[in-house]
Structure 1
Amino acid sequence: MTATATPIATSLNNPVIHHLPNGLTIIAEQIPVNAINLNLWLNIGSVVESNDINGMAHFLEHMIFKGTQRLQSGEFEARVEARGAATNAATSQDYTHYYITTAPQDFADLAPLQLDVLLNPAIPDDAFDRERQVVMEEIRRSEDNPRRRSYQHLANMAFETLPYNRPVLGPIEVIEQLKPQQMRDFHRGWYHPDRVVAVAVGNLPVEELIATVERSCLQSMEDRRGEPHIRHQRQSLGQESAFAQVIRAEHIDPTLQQARMMMLWRVPGCMNPQETYALDMLANILSHGRTSRLVQDLREQRQLVNGIGASNMTYQHQGIFCISANLDSDNIAATEQAIREQVDRLHNELVPMADLTKVATQVANHFVFNNETPSARANLYGYYYALMGDLAPAFSYTDAIRSLTPQDLQTAAQKYLSTEAYGTVTIRPET
């Protein structure tokens, strides 16, 4: 080993963090499940793109699997599937991650392949042109999806200046113009070991997990010797100001059978985790389960909506607190007023301690239960470390939720959820 491995003591998880001299971070944990998940996370998503290459990060995710100097196109997937393992990847605004899930006895053979495709993609011209068609078809399907269209309307309202308002997939007119060399430069500029968090979780000793990933990384970096030195730098991103008044946007979508209404507030992102806990709780107080406030009031009693939910959507630099409803167009005005009344109630009445305790237990247990498999655990570690550079917020989440008081929730509602300044997006079916 070339660096000191640091265990992180916690009642829920016990990973070890190990840093290589080239900057790669390895997080490893042994758990008694007969599988290994290797998750490679980068804090590189669509927000680092300029407008003229919007969609490049996602397109690159596709091209990562099209061969390296050591592997022919399709060989990586074939060798993974031959072992009964699985591989996939995902791109978001803030991150991209690649993973394999394999049997412990196959980990030493497959981990080097995963690092090779990540760090050394060939990006051949012919494969680039073929995959471009696949990506454009994915964009068309996304544009045909009413939920995706609704989300884009929401993002356009929430973000005036931050690049979160751009689609992760990019527009077709941009993808059509991209060149293979632009992607090679994008990869060489962003995909450096010091921007990679490699998380290995499963039933092998931690020392073996770390040694395998380290050996795989060093082997892969041998193939990058002599390449042109390109290193892109992240631009400093600020935050959007809170809405100063009620802002409205209306759209017509002839594919809808009923209207959709979204009310939204700009709130902190995950770089300010202490500010997000109470907002997570408020979203659950409002809409988690049939006995929650919005469901009982607007759906069960007043019958204004067919469905309603609240969510605290946390991106790295900004968040959106959103209340969305499916409803008849005639009920839009009454529904907005009813939601304002429920938010105003959070301003002026303390949430009863019994309700707070019940919901806090639900939220905390949901967090724990959803992080018990190797893949879920690896995703948890990769997400927090790639975006926040720290695992402590992941380990302290349940305690933070349980420690909230009724006054904390009231303060958060008063601070962030104004009843006089917010955004509304309404999408109506064609009349």
Structure 2
Amino acid sequence: MTVQIGRLPNGFRVATEQMPGLESASLGIWVMAGGRHETAPQNGIAHFLEHMAFKGTEKRSALEIAEAIEDVGGYLNAYTSREVTAYYARVLKQDVALAFDVISDIVLNPIFDLNEIETERGVILQEIGQALDTPDDVVFDWLQEVAFPDQPLGRTILGPTERVRAFSREDLAGFVAQHYGPERLILSAAGAVDHDEIMRMAEATFGGLTRGSAQPEVPATWANGERIELRPGLEQVHFTLGLEAPGYRDDAFYAAQLFSSGLGGGMSSRLFQEVREKRGLCYSIFSQLGSYDDTGMMTIYAGTSGEDISELAGLTVRELMRSAEDMSEREMERARTQMKAGLLMGLESPSARVERMARLVGIWDRVPDLAETVEKIDAVTLSEMRATGAKIAGEAAMAMAVYGPAEAAPSLASLSEMRKAA
């Protein structure tokens, strides 16, 4: 299996990987524009656009878009993140051209019918309401907000209800004109695909596009912020702690991944064993590393009772500090093995491969070979991992969000003092 990369003169990029023996293919268009590319008045518009893509084009109605893919047994979906909006499908190999036509059509030719805008506005408001009724969704949005206050990276992807209620057809079309230029589009395809044929279709469909007018991203600025919201009616306190961590391009990225995994990446991790297994303070606790173009966040989450939140938070900080000092070679090797296994097992489907290719082309303008990625994971030494862990645990900016019956929750200042004393 070989990845091939192509580029049209206008900057439109194509990544393909033929996977012999497969009868199906996954393909999609990744737009390098998401929540962090919105201005404050635009907050939520990238996600609104994702919904509207399925609501009709110049040659297909909303029903015809769905039927075109489902009539051949395929699958069509999309998502919006803080840095990307993606539209993708999976079909049998004889239907690759059809899938390409449908996806390119919904990206290039949405009509933004006024009736459909109002219908989908209602759907999105329901989605926002559902998220607001889900405490562990709410608390992660709050954590993002206090870590990156008053900037695009700190705003929710769904947007506030007052903005969603106000978006017009002109607002939607304006965001597309600004951010959906060919230089920000990546076509990724894997499985039963032919690179030359994909390139021919891309040239015919996207070759005539002119570049957009997107402005450079606003650099992320971390803050030591907190938000504690009391909600006595909830059974659990939802506790999140975020620490500044390396972004995708940082040389310490893999060391940070290993540290986060060793700290709270599974049932054998420090946090799970100490907080849940030995003390019984929670049912769920984990650490994960989320990275962006220019920064990252190591997030620790736990759900616990109101009477246990102070003990859990303090123990979490102590384990964080202790792990940076004495995480063992065995723990690091377990984290390394888990990381490589997750990478390799996760790429056994064409859908996972198109996601990986698009993401890496967006970051590096190429797709590093799997062996190169594994080599970088293997190259991290224990001292490098501990040094990275020490920087995250002891020096990095820290933010906290807590939601629930949290009267006993410690302040961020008290947890910061605990860091200094450790």
Please give the TM-score of this superposition, normalised by the length of structure 2: 0.89
Deviations 1:205-258 (Å, cap 9, x if unpaired)? 33233333333435xx5xx7xxxx893322342232474xxx543211345211
Query: Is this contact kept in 2: 1:37–1:200, CA < 8 A?
Result: yes
Q: Does 1:204 align with 2:193?
A: yes
Query: Does residue 112 of structure 1 match 2:112?
Result: no
Q: In 2, Cα distance between the equivalents of 1:346 and 1:424?
A: 20
Measured after TM superposition, the shift of residue 420 of structure 1 is 9.2
Deviation per CA, 1:237-295: give whole Å up to 9, x if none: 2232474xxx54321134521112222211222232x2221111111111233322111
Match of 1:305 in 2: 282
Aligned 8 A contact 1:52 1:174 in 2? yes
Change (3 A) 1:58 1:205: same
Match of 2:260 among 255, 277, 283: 283
Distance in 2, Cα, partners of 1:339 & 1:183: 44
3-state SS of the aligned residue for 2:73? Answer: coil
Structure 2 residue runs without a partner (length 5+)? 408-422
How far the C-alpha of 1:369 sits from its partner, in A, is 0.4
Cα offset for 1:169? 0.9
Which residue of the other structure, out of 216, 225, 232, is the alignment partner of 2:213?
232
Paired with 2:385 and 2:374, the residues of 1 have a C-alpha distance of 16
Measure the CA separation in 1 of the matches of 2:203 and 2:122. Answer: 36
Of 70, 74, 77 in structure 2, the residue corresponding to residue 85 of structure 1 is 74
Partner of 1:19: 7
Equivalent pair of 2:275/2:281 in contact (CA under 8 Å): yes
Deviation at 1:58, TM superposition (A): 0.8
The aligned residue for residue 6 of structure 1 is none
Is the partner of 2:183 in helix, strand or coil? helix
DSSP 3-state at the match of 1:391: coil
Name the SS for the 2:203 alignment partner: helix
**How far off its partner does 1:297 sit?**
1.4
The one-letter code matched in structure 2 to 1:267 is: A
Distance 1:237 1:36, change over 3 A: same
8 Å CA contact 2:237, 2:305 repeated in 1: yes
Specify the alignment match of 1:249 in structure 2. Answer: 227
Structure 1 residue aligned with 2:411: none
Matching residue's letter, 1:259: V
Q: Which residue of 2 aligns with 1:165?
A: 154
- CA deviation after TM superposition for structure 1 residue 127, in Å: 1.8
1:55 aligns with 2:36: no
Distance in 2 separating the partners of 1:46 and 1:347 = 33
Q: Structure 1, residues 166-224: CA drift from partner, whole Å, max 9, x if none?
A: 11111111111111112112112221222110011111333233333333435xx5xx7
Query: Judging changes above 3 Å, is the alpha-carbon distance between structure 1 residues 414 and 399 closer, same or farther for their aligned structure 2 residues?
Result: same
Instruction: Give SS of 1:239's match.
Output: coil
Could you tell me the percent identity over the aligned residues? 25
Cα distance in 1 for residues equivalent to 2:69 and 2:228 = 48
RMSD of aligned residue pairs (Cα, Å): 2.3
Counterpart position of 2:419: none
Match of 2:272 in 1: 295
Matched, 1:258 2:239: no
Deviations 1:309-349 (A, max 9, x none): 11111123321112222212222222222222222223332
Contact 2:18 2:194 in 1 (8 A): yes
Measured in 1, the distance between the counterparts of 2:235 and 2:369 equals 41
Indicate whether 1:386 and 2:362 are aligned: yes
Structure 1 residues 262 and 393: alpha-carbon distance in aligned structure 2, compared to 1, 3 A threshold: farther
1:19–1:25: 8 Å Cα contact kept in structure 2? yes
Provide the C-alpha distance between the structure 1 equivalents of 2:45 and 2:320, rounded to a whole number of angstroms: 40
Q: What's the offset of the Cα at 1:95?
A: 0.5
Q: Which residue of 2 aligns with 1:3?
A: none
How many residue pairs get aligned? The number is: 406
Q: 2 CA distance for matches of 1:420 and 1:43?
A: 28
- The aligned runs of 1:52-201 (5 Å cut-off) are 52-201=41-190
The corresponding residue for 1:336 is 313
What residue identity is the alignment partner of 2:154?
N
Shift of 1:107: 1.3
Alpha-carbon distance between aligned partners in 2 of 1:189 and 1:394, rounded to the nearest angstrom:
34
Moved over 6 A (4+): none
Does structure 2 retain, via aligned residues, the 8 Å contact 1:343–1:419? Answer: no
Question: CA distance change for structure 1 residues 194 and 239 in 2, over 3 Å: closer, same or farther?
Answer: closer
Q: Which runs of 5+ in 1 are unaligned?
A: 1-12
Structure 1 Cα separation of the partners of residues 257 and 385 of structure 2: 10
User: For 1:112, what is the secondary structure of its paired residue?
Assistant: helix
